[in-house]
Amino acid sequence: MRNTFLALFLIGGLTSFGQVYLDPNASIDDRVENLLSQMTLEEKIGQMTQAERGSIGGQGDSIKQYYLGSILSAGGSSPGTTVASWIEMYNTFQAQAMDTRLGIPLIYGIDAVHGNNNLFGAVIFPHNIGLGCTRNAELVEECARITALEVAATGMDWTFSPCLAVPRNERWGRTYEGFGESPDLVATMAEASVLGYQSDSLGNENSILACAKHFVADGGTQNGSDQGNAVISETELRNIHLFPYYDAIEQNVGSVMASFSSWNGDKCHGNGYLLTDVLKNEMGFEGFVISDWMGINQLGDFKSAIAQSINAGIDMAMQPNDYIDFITHLTALVNEETVSMSRIDDAVRRILRIKFQLGLFEDPYVDNSLADTIGCVSHRNVARQAVRESLVLLKNNGVLPLSKDGTRVVVAGSKADDIGVQCGGWSISWQGSSGDITPGTTIKEAVEEVVGSENVSYTASTSIPSGDVAVVVVGEFPYAEGAGDIPYGDDRFYISNSDQQIIDAVQSAGIPMVVVLLSGRPIMLEYLIDDADAMVAAWLPGTEGNGITDVLFGDYDFTGKLSHTWPRDEDMVPINEGDGSNDPLFAYGFGLDYSATAVSEIAQYEPGNAFRVYPNPVAENLYIDNESGNVIDVSLTSLAGELIAQFDRTNSNSIQIPMNELPKGIYLVTIRKGNGITTFKIIKD
């Protein structure tokens, strides 16, 4: 009935004043002002309130009663395992909102942080720590674009992503939610993610609202403690943790989530300098700021906390279960003028502007045509590419690439056949869990697809079958947020005893060993790296385990580069590029590949005219002529970085590397010159 009435007005061009906000041809600002001018305080505060789906009743009666502006699904909070159950829930709640006096549609938010990870059957991408290793912004944008599709298919309008944390201490349980330790890398991937979620206009079909989080310096707390205190200068805060937000704002990110953490003892949720002076006024952020899960409550007495946080610049409050108390207190605060009506109006303007930009007033209900795209092959193929490009080769003595033809592969370790472990936290449930949590391909299944199940022997114990090569999968069980923090003295920085026992058993069996590490952060490998013939950091790859075998069997080369400096031991943590520390196990940006130049193929190698490298076919040695005189020294190392030989420049002009004394394999030659370093790989075949 109401739409017909509206249609008659619009057709007749007779948009009365009170209806301007319903006119899609009116400017966004006119629509916002027209609507705001008609809203009661109750309706305004309702727009600033977000409740959790589980606390508003099955039919969402509270939405209409309290004019709620937003609903969220907490991690793992689902109406069911079918798309239909999500669509029915969303439309039921939206109908409540549309049935209010002014018919202001809901905006529904969810943590779709690596795919629509709440939804059974959706494709789950690598977590951000792995996406950072791809260094491929276009790919990250495509992953976000697909996520937006699979989110919109369920009706959700908003994802609490991308996480713009710059994790500086790997003790933090949310390290994997960040793209890496480099502000530049995070900024690049933040921009790509926002573009993927929102496209270049929120009004475009299937665009969803992005949310840059958690503002600010969530990744800079002391000892990496979650929701802790970042004791850093403003210069460090700006140069490292604020830096990525410029790119997200440049890309018109429509929402920002405040961080639970503190800066020099001040909770971000109540910090007006950060939320208003810096984010809104200095950086020009025009979207709205949402609090984190009862983050306002952490400021102290609830009513005072509400006053402090709203006046500081929080525009929408994530109050999953105590939204009625929030509404009551904020109403009282406005009536007693502790919170001004102009602050309320500013918050509501920001929220309404996004809702108009999203087109929610014209198109409030779910587009059912997207349901078939969820988990489809084309989406999974993009995720498979993201897995491939996220892998980082840390060591390879030549055992990789594996041969497909008749190779008998031992696949060892329970994590090799566990989608839940592959996906990590924020997967179907908030904390994630091991087991068959959603459709996908485990590493074991992927190996079977390549060599045939008849050539695969799987073991989750230390009883090791015979085989030509072993793929041993070790790493971390799923966790999220503070549950993943590693306090001092905790041994979770090291692989578990059960994982180590399997490695020892494979080594005792004398089978060449490829170790695949599934983890949300660099963990301590110094004693493991020697045991392995090859070592691959696979991070938390998600549902498409065949992205791993694509590279292990050589269909694709490794391209991933570390998004974190890899500490040699836990006493080195925190260790980050450019912080003056040295001698990590692997540097930020490290990553090997299969390409190398055979010694016999090195002819007149003159990478910079500083020297000439050429083989001595007869003696199988490698000569390095220091013709320019500025070679300082030459080192020969294994791919893992173990030093094999070091040649300081003597008076003689040529350095001879005795290749004939070395076993076959791939080696690194590093030539230090007065003006830099040249490294190249050689194969002794």
Respond yes or no: is residue 292 known to be catalytic. yes
How crowded is residue 162: how many other Cβ atoms within 10 Å of its Cβ? 30
Query: Min. distance of Cβ 75 from ligand GLC in angstroms?
Result: 5
**Positions 547 through 576 that interact with ligand GLC (CB under 6 A):** none
Does position 141 bind ligand GLC by CB under 6 A?
Answer: no
345: its two tokens: 């109006």
Q: Measure the CA–CA gap between 391 and 301, rounded to whole angstroms.
A: 47
337-351 core/surface letters (b: 16 or more CB in 10 A; e: else): ebbeeebbbbbbbbb
Tell the smallest beta-carbon distance from residue 52 to ligand GLC (Å): 9
Q: Which of 111, 292, 499, 544 is catalytic?
A: 292
Shortest-Cβ-distance residue relative to ligand GLC? 160
Nearest to 331 by CA among 630, 548, 42: 42
Q: Binder to ligand GLC among 75, 287, 398, 475 (CB under 6 A)?
A: 75
74 vs 371 by CB, closer to ligand GLC: 74
Choose between 484 and 560: whose C-beta lies nearer to ligand GLC. 484
* Size of residue set near ligand GLC by CB under 6 A: 7
Beta carbon nearer to ligand GLC, 292 or 448: 292
Looking at 74, 231, 283, 382, which residue binds ligand GLC (CB under 6 A)? 74
- Provide the token pair at 464: 């090791």
Residue 623 burial by Cβ neighbours in a 10 Å radius (0-12, 13-18, 19+): middle
293 belongs to the binding site for ligand GLC (CB under 6 A) = yes
Nearest to 483 by CA among 434, 431, 433: 431
Closer CB to ligand GLC, 111 or 544, in the complex: 111
Which residues between 104 and 123 bind ligand GLC (CB under 6 A)? 111
Q: Does 225 bind ligand GLC (CB under 6 A)?
A: no
User: CA 671 to CA 6: how far, in whole Å?
Assistant: 75
Name the catalytic one among 481, 533, 550, 570: 481
SS3 683: strand
Give min distance, CB of 89 to ligand GLC, in A.
Answer: 17
Pair 532, 395: CB distance under 8 Å: yes
Which CA distances in Å does 350 have to 347, 406, 510?
5, 62, 64
Q: Minimum Å distance from CB 222 to ligand GLC? A: 18
Which one, 213 or 379, has the nearer CB to ligand GLC? 213
Q: What is the three-class DSSP state of 70?
A: strand
| 292 part of the interface to ligand GLC, by CB under 6 A | yes
Backbone angles phi, psi at 585, to 5 degrees: -65, -45
**In contact, 160 and 172? CB cutoff 8 Å:** no
Q: What angle, rounded to 10 degrees, do the helices at 377-390 and 137-152 form?
A: 150
User: In the range 249-278, which residues lie near ligand GLC by CB under 6 A?
Assistant: none
Q: Is 389 a catalytic residue?
A: no
| C-alpha closest to that of 387 among 76, 126, 190 | 126
Q: Provide, rounded to whole angstroms, the least separation between the CB of residue 123 and ligand GLC.
A: 20
CB nearer ligand GLC, residue 319 or residue 549: 319
CB of 198 to ligand GLC, least distance (A): 17
Alpha helices by DSSP H, listed for 359-391, are 377-390
Q: Which of residues 157-216 bind ligand GLC (CB under 6 A)?
A: 160, 213
Closest CB 178 distance from ligand GLC, rounded Å: 12
Return the DSSP state at 383. H
Alpha carbon distance 402, 396 (integer Å): 11
Verify binding: residue 542, ligand GLC, rule CB under 6 A. Answer: no
User: Which CB atom, from 298 or from 670, has the smaller least distance to ligand GLC?
Assistant: 298
**Least gap, CB of 74 to ligand GLC (angstroms):** 5
In the bound state with ligand GLC, the residue whose beta carbon lies nearer, of 481 and 570, is 481
* Token pair in block for residue 539: 């991070």
The C-alpha R_g of the chain, in whole angstroms, comes to 28
Return the DSSP state at 7: H
Would you name the residues annotated as active-site residues? 292, 481
Q: Footprint of ligand GLC on this chain (CB under 6 A)?
A: 74-75, 111, 160, 213, 292-293
